[in-house]
Structure 1
Amino acid sequence: MNPRIFIVDDEKNSRLTIKASLHGLSYDLFFAENGYQALKDLPQIDPDLVLLDVMMPDMTGYEVCRKIRELSDHKEVPIVFITSLDDKQSLFHGFEAGGDDFITKPFNRIELLVRINGILRLNRFRKLLGERKRFQWLIDRADEGYISINDSFHILYANESAQNLLSLPDHYSNPPCHLLKITDKYFNRKPLPAWEAFLSGSYPNEPLYLIRPETDQHPSLWLEITCISQPEDDHYFYQIKDVTSKVELTMEIKKFHNFVSHKLNTPMNHLLPFLELSLISLQDQNYDDVSEYIHCAQNGALELHQQVQRILQTLGSKNASSNLTLSMNEAKDLMMSVFDTHEIDHSKVTLSLHQDPQCVLPLSSQNFQSLFHEIIWNAVKNHPKKNPTIDIQSFCNNEKKETTILIRNDGTSLSPHELKSIGHFSPYFQGEKYFTGQKEGMGLGLSGVKIMLWNIGGKFKIRNGSDEESVEVTISIPSCQKCQPSIEARPDES
């Protein structure tokens, strides 16, 4: 957009002279013959510069200038007086009225252009400075966190929200604190491939996450970090958003969908077939069988009613999963129930679970069952005959206060593209439709398994086994809530 220059002069020859002097240049010119017309047209024109004649009838240039300075929307527009007066008193009155400069008639064209260009440039810088101050004011008071870091990852600036979210010390910028030395005290960095790309100098396409695991003293905290500017003077600007509530809501929806589908499917599988058999037996007048089938259907209906009541109770109860723990014996029973749900023959399952009283998992039975169900369901879905052989081992590391569960199956090995796709996910949506066979956004999915583990400081890894056709899933879980996992070491698990 060209700069807009508003020329106010009662003499036609003066207006024509200025127009001729500025002809062919990148300016949009507007004209007024007197002060009243100038004040009337000013809001519509919204000029970048006003060239104002001093000696005009009815209203002098000084009066027009004072009235412009009283207008809230245009009080800062640059005003240059054009006058044949060159005495000091006239200059004093002009500056007192709010003028920025003077050009004396008759003026030199070169001088006029130099004055106009200089004032427009200064006005542009003034506007930029004003916008920067307003932007700084908004950033300082924003609910989201904003930080500026250099190419060595030292924090140069952090607004108040960022200081609170990252627990920065008061002296974070003097000298500048290293971002990772600050965050690694409290947070896990996920997903690791994206962070590795970020630390190597190339910003990834997906967001970065800092996750503070849940403990007895603190709830979990999810921070999403997004680059919102291009590199400038070796500085980078990032937005930090607390997305904990979004992640938790999504997980609750996914877990509830998972919970409902499994709890209702089992009694329905009893109810519907026996009702169908009852109808067939009635047609054959085999009343003894009808009585037996109706009795079985009644049991299925009763079980369905009980499950619905449990679901309603779950909806009405406050989530207290953070206070629940799970022993390995209880975990084993839940594993067996999942195998039964998927009709996996127990002879095809090998369990080698490390029994240690100290290995207590910070998961509710519902959460563990949902997590384990997704892993086994993917094994079934990915098996050519939908009947995998499964080998499960667990190891308890008391020094790290961590339990590792290794789940192997003889399903079809995954392609590099499939393995890579598991590493790229959104914590808000179901991202593993290739494995679960579900509609996007439904069920827990492998992305949900990751989120559930990350939320308690755990880890998740999937890879092809050493055999030609096998898949291995490794999950690591803190042994107890009171023992927050070490996050100084950075293994290659994602």
Structure 2
Amino acid sequence: MSFVPTILIIDDQLSIRKSLEGLLIGQGYNLEFACNGFEGLEKASKLIPDLVVLDIMMPKMDGFEVCQRLRSDPRLAEVPILMLTALDDLNSKVRGLEVGADDFLSKPFNSVELLARIRTVTRLNRYRRLLSERNKSDWIMEQANDGYVIIDDNDLIRSANTKACLYLEIENDQDQIFDQTFLELVSKQYNYEPQSAWLTWPPEHPGVQSQSPRYLIRPETTISKPFWLKVETLELPAIGSKTWIVCLRDVTEEMSLRRDIHSFHKFISHKLRTPLIGLSNGSELLMRYATELTADEIIEFSQTIHNSSQRLLAQINDVLKYKQYVDSDKAFRSMPLSQLPEIVDQVKLNLKQINLSLDCSNELNTVQIGLSDQKFKLLFEEILENSVKFHPDHDPIINISITQLNHSFVKIEIGDNGVTLSPEQIMQAWVPYYQGEKYFTGESTGMGLGLSMVSSIVWEIGGTCQLRNQKDKVGIVVELIIPIEPFYSEQNEQTTFQQ
């Protein structure tokens, strides 16, 4: 919708009002009229016009007083005022300037001069309003908790607010000219995940929308925690070339909280299930067969119940200490791959049916990877539990192989013989759980793959994840690229692995 300036004409003479209407009608203005100063002030307060054409000589309240009152109103103080004067009335023009008039128009009117003056004044006032709105927007952007970047259709940054400059480590200089694209700039310190969601960047492909949220992740190092930015875009109305607003939102705490909740649920489930089974089974046997049991058998069952209750008490104490467990594991830690068989065996104990083989060269036993043993165990719990859960018979055959890609990364592949996934399921598998989960199960909406926990842990340490179907047979392969611990030195902390 095009902008239509509003002109308020205040004059007590009907002939003057009709004359101005005849000259201005059809020229692209919204015309409003008042026949005295009081009515003019009332309409001006209601309309906030783009221009006031004001006669000086009016009864009860002359144009000078009207002008003073308009200037004393903060909402109307910047509205341009064009005063109507006699051709040789110099004193009126001087007084008009003193009370705040912007320009004068002499009677009788010259239609060409009138239109030229009004067009100039309304155009300048529109620019003033636009500048005022831009200043408001700039202030809001500077106070925002999120980072905002404006990019063009070549992915070049045109402007950035203070928060975005902080996130991207660029100077907060409005006159700065960037010769790097947005992706080139962020790739210096961030990984962009999931990589499938960034294939449509810059977001200029007609009708193409990324189904997955986009994230920029600065990996964990020996001196800093992982840092997450969620990236959202809005295309601006085209004035020449296309431009987008890119919102950079810090979701580090959200991601950490969701993962802690997920881990806590798993922790509770594993810790309490076994002693509760002992309590339940032992008490049920005593309740049903107490009259038929010998004294020794009753003592035996009572001892089982007692031992289970003591174990339950110990586990509850562990639960109460869970906060320490979580906080201690947030520090950057590493583990040797020689611990992998032990971790896999621990995970197998919690699974009812699993047929698993592990292929890891002895040469890799001394390799330190950039994950704590607790997080590594959590990765395998997620992946192996999903293999069992989604296998048609809940009895998968799982193969784990580990190879060293180079001096910086190892590759871990976990393959099963369960199901074959659609391309959409594969693309959505790594979507972080807080986007689509209802009950924090780590399962994306409608899928239940539960791999979002895996992705968040691996991305935070600078690794990558891939999911693909098995070749020539049913089943899937989860591929994890994990950094080797020496890779995370202070000298190399900004290096990332991108495929």
In 2, the alpha carbon distance for the partners of 1:468 and 1:264 equals 39
Give the residue type in structure 2 aligned to 1:191: P
In 1, the alpha carbon distance for the partners of 2:97 and 2:498 equals 66
Give the residue type in structure 2 aligned to 1:242: D
Between 176-185 and 205-214, the greater mean CA deviation after superposition:
176-185
Does structure 1 residue 185 correspond to structure 2 residue 188? yes
**1:281–1:289 contact (8 Å) kept in structure 2:** no
**1:255–1:367 contact (8 Å) kept in structure 2:** no
Residue in structure 1 matched with residue 478 of structure 2 by the alignment: 473
**1:361–1:478 contact (8 Å) kept in structure 2:** yes
Residue in structure 1 matched with residue 46 of structure 2 by the alignment: 44
How far did 1:419 drift?
1.7
**2:469–2:475 contact (8 Å) kept in structure 1:** yes
How far did 1:40 drift?
4.7
**1:380–1:387 contact (8 Å) kept in structure 2:** yes
In 1, the alpha carbon distance for the partners of 2:85 and 2:77 equals 22
Residue in structure 2 matched with residue 195 of structure 1 by the alignment: 198
In 2, the alpha carbon distance for the partners of 1:387 and 1:11 equals 96
How far did 1:54 drift?
0.7
How far did 1:128 drift?
1.0
How far did 1:392 drift?
1.4
Give the residue type in structure 2 aligned to 1:10: D
In 1, the alpha carbon distance for the partners of 2:334 and 2:313 equals 28
Between 201-210 and 451-460, the greater mean CA deviation after superposition:
201-210
Between 206-215 and 42-51, the greater mean CA deviation after superposition:
42-51
Does structure 1 residue 380 correspond to structure 2 residue 388? yes
Q: 1:213 aligns with which of 219, 224, 231?
A: 219
Residue in structure 2 matched with residue 260 of structure 1 by the alignment: 268
**1:147–1:239 contact (8 Å) kept in structure 2:** yes
CA offset digits 1:254-278 (Å, max 9, x no partner):
2222222222223223322232222
Residue in structure 1 matched with residue 68 of structure 2 by the alignment: 66
User: 3-state DSSP class of the match of 1:5?
Assistant: strand
Change in Cα spacing, 1:127 to 1:343, as seen in structure 2 (3 Å) is same
How far did 1:224 drift?
2.1
Long gaps (5+) in structure 1? none
Give the residue type in structure 1 aligned to 2:188: K
Does structure 1 residue 404 correspond to structure 2 residue 411? yes
Change in Cα spacing, 1:479 to 1:23, as seen in structure 2 (3 Å) is closer
In 1, the alpha carbon distance for the partners of 2:494 and 2:160 equals 27
* Aligned pairs for 1:23-38 within 5 A: 29-38=31-40
Residue in structure 1 matched with residue 109 of structure 2 by the alignment: 107
Residue in structure 2 matched with residue 361 of structure 1 by the alignment: 369
How far did 1:115 drift?
4.4
In 2, the alpha carbon distance for the partners of 1:136 and 1:489 equals 36
How far did 1:457 drift?
1.1
User: 3-state DSSP class of the match of 1:261?
Assistant: helix
In 1, the alpha carbon distance for the partners of 2:444 and 2:242 equals 44
Give the residue type in structure 2 aligned to 1:180: L
Give the residue type in structure 1 aligned to 2:402: S
TM-score, normalised relative to structure 1: 0.86
CA offset digits 1:405-440 (Å, max 9, x no partner):
2212121222333223315x245245599xx79796
Between 310-319 and 123-132, the greater mean CA deviation after superposition:
310-319
Residue in structure 1 matched with residue 153 of structure 2 by the alignment: 151
Change in Cα spacing, 1:396 to 1:266, as seen in structure 2 (3 Å) is farther
Between 452-461 and 124-133, the greater mean CA deviation after superposition:
124-133
* Aligned pairs for 1:294-333 within 5 A: 294-315=302-323, 319-321=327-329, 322-333=331-342
> Over aligned residues, Cα RMSD in angstroms?
3.4
Give the residue type in structure 2 aligned to 1:343: K
In 2, the alpha carbon distance for the partners of 1:323 and 1:34 equals 77
Q: 1:336 aligns with which of 345, 348, 373?
A: 345
In 2, the alpha carbon distance for the partners of 1:302 and 1:430 equals 39
In 2, the alpha carbon distance for the partners of 1:38 and 1:265 equals 80
Residue in structure 1 matched with residue 459 of structure 2 by the alignment: 454
In 2, the alpha carbon distance for the partners of 1:395 and 1:317 equals 31
**1:155–1:173 contact (8 Å) kept in structure 2:** no
Change in Cα spacing, 1:270 to 1:188, as seen in structure 2 (3 Å) is same
* Identity across matched positions, percent: 33
**1:224–1:241 contact (8 Å) kept in structure 2:** yes
Long gaps (5+) in structure 2? none
CA offset digits 1:369-394 (Å, max 9, x no partner):
22211101110011111111122122
In 1, the alpha carbon distance for the partners of 2:137 and 2:29 equals 29
Change in Cα spacing, 1:287 to 1:113, as seen in structure 2 (3 Å) is farther
How far did 1:12 drift?
4.1
**1:326–1:361 contact (8 Å) kept in structure 2:** yes
In 1, the alpha carbon distance for the partners of 2:166 and 2:494 equals 22
How far did 1:468 drift?
1.4
